Structures are given as C-alpha cells and as structure tokens.
Amino acid sequence: MAPSYLSIALIVLGEAFASQLPLFETSSLSQTHLTAKELISSKSLQDRIHVDNLLERANTLYSIAQLGEDEYNHPTRVIGSKGHLGTIDYIYSTIAQLGDYYTLSNQSFPAVVGNVFESRLVLGSEVPQSAIAMSLTPPTKKKQPVFGPLALVSNFGCDASDYLDLTSKIALISRGDCPFGTKSSLAGRAGAIAAVIYNNEKGALGGTLGTPSPDHIATFSISDSDAALYIKKLKDGEEVQASAYIDAIVESIETTNIIAQTKEGDPENCVMLGGHSDSVTEGPGINDDGSGSLTLLEVATQLVNYRVNNCVRFAWWAGEEEGLLGSDYYVSVLSPEENLKIRLFMDYDMLASPNFAYQVYNATNSLNPVGSEELRDLYTEFYTSKGLNFTYIPFDGRSDYDAFIKHGIPGGGIATGAEGVKTEKERQVFGGVAGDWYDPCYHQLCDDVGNVNLTAWELNTKLVAHSVATYARSFDGYPKRTGIEATAVLDVPLSKYHGPKLQV
Ligand SMILES: *[C@@H]1O[C@H](CO)[C@@H](O)[C@H](O)[C@H]1NC(C)=O
Ligand SMILES: *[C@@H]1O[C@H](CO)[C@@H](O)[C@H](O)[C@H]1NC(C)=O
Ligand SMILES: *[C@@H]1O[C@H](CO)[C@@H](O)[C@H](O)[C@H]1NC(C)=O
Ligand SMILES: *[C@@H]1O[C@H](CO)[C@@H](O)[C@H](O)[C@H]1NC(C)=O
Ligand SMILES: [Zn+2]
C-alpha cells in the first residue's frame, strides 16, 4: 500500500504545484489577478472537509425531521411531510447564502405517496407472521375487512389467462417474472377483493406496487413458508377462507428537486452529482440519505473558494424512496442537447453506515455507458491510495443513477451499505460486526444522528470532494459522450429494483 500511496501523493503535489504557475505569472499584472481564486485541486478541496461541519449539519437535519412529528408522531423527512419541506428549505437557503457562485433552481414534479395506517391478513384461522401490506397498496373496500375464499393463481400471475373468475375471492399469487403491481392489477381485473403475493425464494417478502393504477387492489406479501400450507390445501382442492383488511391512503402531491450549478466552468461539459433529500416515512433518515445530501451541501459550500474549468452541477433529488421519482423525472425532461452536456453522474446515497463497508458500484464499460468504469476506478484508486480496503457492489438500479445510465450518461458512486449483512470476511477487511446489517437502523426510526460513523463519513466526503475536483479541473483522458441511448447491452434481465423497494 505504501508505495502506491506515495506515488499518488506525488502526483497530487505535482498538480497542485502546476496549478500555481499561471497564478504566479499573472499575479503581478493586475490587482484582480492577485485576488483571483485558486484553480480547483483535489488536495486543497479535501483539506477543507472537516467532520465537525458534517456533524453540525446532521444535528440541524434531525431537528428539521422533528417538524414531521405533528403528522407522523415521530421525526421523518418523507416527501409531503413538513420534515421534507424543511429539508429542501435548508438546502436551498444554504446554497442561496453562498452568493452568486451558483445558479440555483427548483424543479417541481408530481409524485405519489402512500401511508398504511393499519392492516391485517387472516388465512384459514391463522395470521401469517410475515404478512405485510405492500407499499402504495390501496385500502380494502371502504377501509373495512373483506372476507372470501382464497384462490390460487396459475403460473406467476403475469398474464390475464392465469386468473379464473375471482369475483369476491382473495388471490394467492407467486412472486416472479413480472412486477408486483402487474399482479395486483390483473387480480383486480379478475374481480378479486384482495391479493396476497408469496415469496418464490426463501424468506420474508416486502415490496411496492409502484405507480398506482385504478385496477390495483389491497395487496399483502408473505413469506414462502407462510404460504406453503395454503398452496398445498388449495392444490388438494380444499377450501380456505380468508380475510383481509388494509386502511391506507395513496395520494398525489407535488415535490421538488433542487439543482445548483456553478456559473463558472464550461457549461457544455458538466460534472454532475446527486444525493436524495427525502427519507422514508419510518424515520429521520440521517444516514439515508442525510449523509449523502449533507456531504453535497458541504462540498458545494467549500467549492466556492475555487475556480473551475468545467461546470459542476449538484442535485438533491426528492422521492427517491418512492422509486427514484425525482431523478427519473429530471432525466426524462432533458432535451438531447442538455443530456449530452452531462459528462457523468455520481450518486452519493448512504455514506456513513455505522457498520460500514467501503462499497464501490461495479459500474463497467461493457454493461454501462462508457466512462462509468473510469469513474469506478477513480474511487477504487482513492481507497487504495489511502491503504483502505473496498468492495464492489452491484450497479443494479437501487438508487438515483438509474435514469442516467439508461439514457447514455456514464454513472457510478459509492455507498457504505444498507440492510445487507456483513460477512466474517468483510469484518476482517473493514472491522465492525459480522452478522449485523451494515446499517442496523436502515429505514427505521433509529436512523438518527447516532446512526453515522464519522470516520467513514469524513473519508467518503473527502472522496466526493476528490471526484468533484478531479472532473471540475479536467476531463482530459475521460471518454467523450457518445449518445443518449441506453447501453450496449440489449438483453438486460428485468431489474428487481427501481429504487430501494423490490418491485418484482
Ligand atoms: C425554491 O424552493 C425553496 C425551498 O422550498 C423556496 O424557499 C424558494 O422560494 C423556491 N424558489 C423559487 C424560485 O421558486
Ligand atoms: C463487475 O462487473 C463485471 C461485468 O461488467 C463482471 O465481469 C465482474 O465479475 C464484476 N465484478 C465483481 C467483483 O462483481
Ligand atoms: C484490509 O484487509 C486485510 C484483510 O484482507 C486486513 O488485514 C487489513 O487490516 C485491512 N486494512 C484496513 C486498513 O482495514
Ligand atoms: C467508526 O469506525 C471506525 C473505524 O472502523 C471505528 O474505529 C470507530 O469506533 C467507529 N465509530 C463509531 C462511533 O462507531
Ligand atoms: Zn437512500
């Protein structure tokens, strides 16, 4: 590790020195040049990153999340809540206070939010322990319990022909092959009064119906083992009575992305980065994604001390937790010309998990827009140069980079882990606790200021600074944009994720 660290350090020093030269030459010419800002350099920007500033911002964000208490009985920054409105005010006013370095804009877009107040499923005479109402499910009729025989749907329930007449019945459907929302719609169209989707893999199942449809019906998910007995009974021709009850709302609201772009720097060649401003309903979201969005705020604040050669564009997305709504919307309304100005997009979601691993999205040029792999290698070289271990994680659509790479824009990012379990091998490599989640408070009330590892957060914020500084200074050697088409790969399997919740 040491030799590579040394050589990187020398390169950084060499660059910093070179950047001073034009300043020395011109500084004698006029007063303005004496006061001109220094050209951005990675080391200099990284040196301005201090964990105290991040922690102070985290405390501020927590008190903003408490604005959600009136309506939700606990701190939250979910879209539509006062906690989220407070978050976007905080981001907006922080950037606005930096003067005229950035062009700041709001982008409003329509979103749907759901809230399940109460739910209960009974199969036969039992309440399956694993049963949960799926996200964005509608309520049962009149928000009252419904009763009917359970009916087993054929195959994966992805085709109308898999459904017999289900009038007044409760459909039991296997997970697999198509989105949960499709199954709920088809069951609804066949006349079912509720649906239960069971896992076709081992374990519990939770997920979202996705974009609401008038055909959706109240839908639960259950584990494979909870379903097994009833599948057998139905196959044996026995009748199983069931009841379902969900009190929930699904409503449309407007929410807002915030975009800040440097006034300086080549506007035809932008380095773009984003984090998400919203949390889930269940908690204040200080690690997810307070850590990423506050990192962006801190880097944007420190960047104003420098000149940039290329434009830098920061984004704080809303509605990530509902299925990447803000980033999807943003990319969907880009004209081809505007799309091509974005040289790459860097996603920063969950940078400070308490039981962290240094994770780098395994974004490659063979599967993703060319340039994604160069970005991946920038991250891994940084960790290696610091003598730190890192691990590759799938680049599978779970965060806001998804729309970018599907529209030809190279992407990548880093993370520190969500509900995955740290292995013994990873404990040896990163420390922490084997057998626990990387973030034991993922999507829960306890994702508060105590739920961040400051060592990981500071280090990763320096890496974010490094990524911004590197590309703000130069795209020399970085692949040019080739087009706005998806990727070279035509045969991509149906992604299980579009955002944090399972949808297939
Ligand atoms: C943008 O949103 C912020 C935060 O809610 C608000 O304070 C500001 O007035 C809005 N600006 C414009 C131009 O709409
Ligand atoms: C990274 O992705 C490439 C395909 O693009 C694959 O060949 C490689 O095995 C992956 N590496 C890891 C460690 O997952
Ligand atoms: C990196 O992982 C190795 C085990 O493969 C471990 O011995 C080493 O201490 C780790 N380095 C750091 C900085 O944690
Ligand atoms: C954060 O991680 C570092 C490095 O693994 C560890 O030494 C430290 O104790 C952790 N801090 C907290 C508050 O858990
Ligand atoms: Zn997140």
> Are 236 and 305 part of one and the same domain?
no
Same domain for 78 and 53, yes or no, is yes
Burial label, 194 (beta-carbon count in 10 A; 0-12, 13-18, 19+): buried
Is the Cβ atom of 88 under 6 angstroms away from ligand 1? yes
Domain-located, residue 456: yes
- Whether 316 and 434 map to the same domain: the answer is yes
Q: How long is the chain?
A: 504
- Could you give the CA distance from residue 213 to residue 204 in angstroms, rounded to a whole number? 25
Q: How far is the CA of 92 from the centre of ligand 1 (A)?
A: 7
Q: Is the pLDDT of residue 414 over 50?
A: yes
Give per-residue pLDDT as tens, 37-83. 999 999 999 999 999 999 999 999 999 999 999 988 999 999 999 99
Enumerate helices (H) and strands (E) in the chain, giving the number of each.
15, 15
My answer on whether 226 and 305 are in the same domain is: no
- Verify that 315 and 370 share a domain, yes or no: yes
293 and 410, same domain (yes or no): yes
Measure 456 CA to ligand 4 centroid, in angstroms.
Answer: 8
* Entry pTM: 0.82
Q: How far is the CA of 59 from the centre of ligand 5 (A)?
A: 18
Domains identified in the chain, total number? 2
Ligand at shortest distance from the CA of 455: 4
| Co-location of 214 and 295 in the same domain | no
Residues 85 and 128 in one domain: no
Q: Is residue 450 part of a domain?
A: yes
Final residue belonging to a domain, choices 251, 271, 300: 251
In one-letter notation, the amino acid at residue 380 is T
User: Residue 26 domain-assigned?
Assistant: no
Q: What percent of the chain has pLDDT over 70?
A: 91
131 and 94 belong to one structural domain = no
> Are both 63 and 150 inside the same structural domain?
no
- CATH label of the domain that carries residue 137: 3.50.30.30
Of the three residues 251, 275, 307, the one that is the final residue of a domain is 251
The tokens for 468 are 């911004």
Residue 432 reports pLDDT greater than 60: yes
Mean pLDDT of 391-420: 95
State whether 97 and 118 are in the same domain. Answer: no
| Residue type at position 69 | E
Q: Is residue 242 part of a domain?
A: yes
Among 380, 386, 429, which residue has the most ligand 3 atoms within 8 Å of its CB, making it the best to mutate?
A: 429
In a domain? residue 106 = no
> Which residues' Cβ are closer than 6 Å to ligand 2?
362, 364, 366-367, 392
For ligand 2, the distance from its centroid to the CA atom of residue 138, given in whole angstroms, is 39
Say yes or no: CB of residue 108 within 6 Å of ligand 4: no
Distance 353 CA to ligand 5 centre (A): 11
State whether residue 33 is helix, strand or coil.
helix
Write the DSSP string, 195-249. Answer: EEEE-SSSS----B--S--TT---EEEE-HHHHHHHHHHHHTT---EEEEEEEEE
Mean pLDDT for 488-495 is 47
**Does ligand 1 come within 6 angstroms of the Cβ of 26?**
no
pLDDT class of 487 with cuts at 50, 70, 90: low
The catalytically annotated residue of 264, 282, 320, 426 is 320
Q: Candidates 452, 454, 455: which one to mutate for ligand 4, based on the most atoms within 8 Å of Cβ?
A: 455
Q: Note if 320 is an active site residue.
A: yes
Q: Which of 189, 221, 251 is the last residue of a domain?
A: 251
Distance, in Å, from the CA atom of 82 to the CA atom of 61, rounded to the nearest integer, reads 12
Pair (48, 126) in one structural domain: no
Is the Cβ–Cβ distance between 219 and 194 less than 8 Å? yes
Q: Which residue of 360, 362, 395 sits with most ligand 2 atoms within 8 Å of its CB, as the best mutation to test the pocket? A: 362
Domain assignment present for 491: no
pLDDT for 14 beyond 60: no
* Of 316, 296, 250, 315, nearest in space to 80 by CA: 250
Asked whether residue 395 is assigned to any structural domain, the reply reads yes
Taking the C-alpha atoms of residue 363 and residue 375, their distance in angstroms, rounded to an integer, is: 8
CATH number of the domain within which 458 lies: 3.40.630.10
* Count of other CB atoms within 10 angstroms of residue 337: 9
pLDDT tens by residue, 160-177: 999 999 999 999 999 999
Q: Is residue 7 part of a domain?
A: no
| Residue 203: domain span | 114-251
